[in-house]
Amino acid sequence: MSDAAYDLVIIGGNSAGLSVAVALQQAGLQRVRILEAGSAIAFPELVSEHQLDVGYGEPALAVDVDADGVVAVRTARHTYTARVCVVAQRAGAEDWKPTMTTVASDRILINKLPDFAADEDVLVIGHTDRAVELTARLAAAGAGVVLAAGGMDPKLLSPTAEAALHRLERERHATLLYRAVPDQIADVDGYPMAFFGDRRTPDLQFDHVVFAPSRTAVTPAEVGLTDAAAASGSVFFLEGADIAAIARAFPEITLTPPPTLAERRRGFTSVIDELRSEHYNATITHFEPTHSDLWVLRVRPDHGDVTHLPGQYASLGLGYWEARIDAAEDDDLDGKWDKMVRRSYSISSRMWDDHGYLTGDLDADELEFYIVLVPPTPDNVPGLTPRLACKRPGDRIYLGPKVAGRYTLGPVTDPSNTLLFFSTGTGEAPHNAMIVELLRKAHHGPIISAVSVRKWADLGYIEQHRALEARYPNYHYLPMPTREPDVPKQYLQDLIANDVLQARFGIELDPAHTHMFMCGNPAMIGLPEDVEGVLHYPEVTGVVQLLAERGFTLDHRKTRGNIHFEEYW
């Protein structure tokens, strides 16, 4: 055995232990040693970034103190002497069980990673440091990761975990669902399917699901802490001490606390530029107003590709620090001023390229979105679109990684089928991409896109659709403004109830050969509620009920059907 003198020895290379090491080294502490029982620390990139001194495969066997107050930490390899010891190590969660309904499967793991993660889609469920650690390890291994972190408060994460979370988002290595947690994990065709109670989050299927329960601090006995060491005041357990308390044991250093929001506003004139640099990862390349409240914009990410299937969506985000176009005031703005507001939007398509060909948007380096300004009401102050309205080409923005939603053309396997696309307002965005893909691949069955809006001016893609009609005789675009004096008012439901499609286009609604896609106002769609196996439709008749009466069936969760709808609207 050999002795080594340190200012600080940290037991545990997890997020909490790394946070202490980085903070105190940056404050001027020279001799810091991290003892990690395993073969890797939580964020290996920090070793070179901060020149960390780490001993791998060194679990603490005993922690004692001599008469002079010097701490001795014994491992199987060495005995380390230090002025202070911090125990950051966490106990496992072997007996933990999910509270949600789930199934027994070797693809559902608790507190551990799959043996092979490269190119696998993995859902991590958790809201603590441990969830961030596992998400980062999966991303580093090349997995496509979604972190369902409902209930997460970033302020309660350790500094290194919070920084890693920002980095994962900024570099588009993981998708974060801050408010969403699945209420059921089921088995569908041998793979776990996560069902979310939140209508803004679609049901998602993964290769693996990883539960990341929070870990508890180890007991004094687990690190061999003696009574003398416990009474010395030189051994800290992170469960009961913060970094500032540990720093006070070293009078020669000054730990600079992170500035409060008010201090950042007052003391840093470039704080907004710093926040944008920290959070934003994409550039707005195109911003074309259809009118003052309706825009088509394109976004190009700094990192990663934009591969997607027609009908899928991505999330956009801006900071609460950005200016609003209206005079509304966000609730608790001081408390969230340096945070971001995010929202998911269906990916649209510009439809035609500069040479008059159908676009190959799936191979492009940017994504197009079709967005309407949401006005404030007494009950709701929207956070994103009033800020997005102030942006122009060249401005920076946050673009989240893509989530493989179910609202795609996957069910369409027969190119002779009749395809109907019903939408309200900007709900036609995913349909634009779907229709272009169908026509590019020579779908020869009838295709109809019907769009309900208030005014003719609310049709941002009407010229592109008219050009499609002129070139493809099997395609028809049916815009339906409801507040124009020269246009008889009718709604999308009327097209079904009054057999308008058959009378106008000769299309028979045969459920054996027809698929209906709908995105937009829930009242138009009219989903039924399942109460003990009995379907109860809304008071206002929607398209679903009208089609169900003609033999159509919902494509939802485990049941495949021919009525498809966008679930996150």
Give tens-digit pLDDT for 421-444.
999 999 999 999 999 999 999 999
What DSSP character marks residue 76?
A: S
In a domain, 436, yes or no: yes
In a domain, 262, yes or no: no
d(CA 345, CA 288): 17
In a domain, 533, yes or no: yes
Say which residues have a Cβ less than 8 Å from residue 366's Cβ, sequence separation at least 6: 285, 286, 298, 299, 300, 301, 306
Joined together, the tokens standing for residue 491 give: 């709604």
- CATH for 139: 3.50.50.60
Compare 509 and 568 and report the one with higher pLDDT: 509
- CATH for 369: 2.40.30.10
Residue 24 is inside which H or E element, if any?
helix 15-26
**pLDDT at residue 492 in the model:** 96
What DSSP character marks residue 426?
A: G
**pLDDT at residue 559 in the model:** 74
Q: Which of these three, 399, 434, 450, is where a domain ends?
A: 399
Joined together, the tokens standing for residue 42 give: 């939580």
Domain that holds residue 58: 3-92+217-247
d(CA 10, CA 398): 36
Split at pLDDT 50, 70, 90, the class of 21 is very high
Residues 346 and 205 in one domain: no
What DSSP character marks residue 68?
A: T
**pLDDT at residue 403 in the model:** 64
Residues 207 and 222 in one domain: no
Residues 122 and 221 in one domain: no
Residues 240 and 203 in one domain: no
Do 17 and 86 form a contact (C-beta atoms < 8 A)?
Answer: yes
Split at pLDDT 50, 70, 90, the class of 102 is very high
Q: Which of these three, 341, 364, 399, is where a domain ends?
A: 399
Question: How many domains is the chain partitioned into structurally?
Answer: 4
Residue from 425, 394, 446, 383 nearest 521 by CA: 425
Residues 443 and 388 in one domain: no
d(CA 293, CA 163): 36
Say which residues have a Cβ less than 8 Å from residue 255's Cβ, sequence separation at least 6: 23, 24, 27, 243, 244, 247
Joined together, the tokens standing for residue 218 give: 């180890």
Compare 487 and 516 and report the one with higher pLDDT: 516
**pLDDT at residue 170 in the model:** 85
The DSSP bridge partners found for residue 210 are: 109, 124
Joined together, the tokens standing for residue 440 give: 């590019």
Give tens-digit pLDDT for 28-69.
999 999 999 999 999 999 999 999 999 999 999 999 999 888
Residues 494 and 437 in one domain: yes
Do 62 and 1 form a contact (C-beta atoms < 8 A)?
Answer: no
d(CA 536, CA 517): 21
Q: What is the mean pLDDT of the chain?
A: 90
Asked if residue 411 has pLDDT above 80, the reply is: yes
CA angle at residue 546 from 545 to 551, to 5 degrees? 90
In a domain, 413, yes or no: no
**pLDDT at residue 1 in the model:** 32
d(CA 53, CA 33): 5
In a domain, 258, yes or no: no
Do 396 and 283 form a contact (C-beta atoms < 8 A)?
Answer: yes
d(CA 251, CA 270): 32
Percentage of residues in the chain with pLDDT exceeding 70? 94
Joined together, the tokens standing for residue 95 give: 């007996």
d(CA 13, CA 132): 14
Residues 228 and 84 in one domain: yes
Q: Which of these three, 349, 367, 399, is where a domain ends?
A: 399
Residues 487 and 385 in one domain: no
Give tens-digit pLDDT for 539-549.
999 999 999 99
Say which residues have a Cβ less than 8 Å from residue 199's Cβ, sequence separation at least 6: 567, 568, 569
- CATH for 511: 3.40.50.80
Do 270 and 161 form a contact (C-beta atoms < 8 A)?
Answer: no
Residues 120 and 161 in one domain: yes
**pLDDT at residue 557 in the model:** 61
Do 208 and 124 form a contact (C-beta atoms < 8 A)?
Answer: no
Asked if residue 2 has pLDDT above 50, the reply is: no
Residues 560 and 452 in one domain: yes
Joined together, the tokens standing for residue 71 give: 């701490």
**pLDDT at residue 247 in the model:** 93
In a domain, 550, yes or no: yes
Asked if residue 201 has pLDDT above 90, the reply is: no
Joined together, the tokens standing for residue 47 give: 């070793």
> How far is residue 407 from each of residues 393, 430, 433, measured CA to CA in Å?
29, 9, 12
Joined together, the tokens standing for residue 481 give: 């403004």
Give tens-digit pLDDT for 513-562.
999 999 999 999 999 988 877 889 999 999 999 999 999 999 876 677 99
Asked if residue 174 has pLDDT above 70, the reply is: yes
**pLDDT at residue 153 in the model:** 77
Residue from 190, 138, 210 nearest 168 by CA: 138
What DSSP character marks residue 36?
A: E
Alpha helices in 414-520 (DSSP H): 429-440, 462-471, 492-497, 500-505
Residues 460 and 551 in one domain: yes
Joined together, the tokens standing for residue 154 give: 């970033």
In a domain, 281, yes or no: yes
> Which one-letter amino acid corresponds to residue 276?
R
Split at pLDDT 50, 70, 90, the class of 361 is low
In a domain, 252, yes or no: no
Split at pLDDT 50, 70, 90, the class of 569 is very low
Residue from 24, 37, 42 nearest 236 by CA: 24
Residue 246, SS3? helix
Residues 232 and 85 in one domain: yes
d(CA 75, CA 524): 67
Give tens-digit pLDDT for 260-306.
555 555 445 457 887 888 899 999 999 998 888 999 999 999 988 88
- On the CB side of 505, CA atoms within 13 Å amount to 24
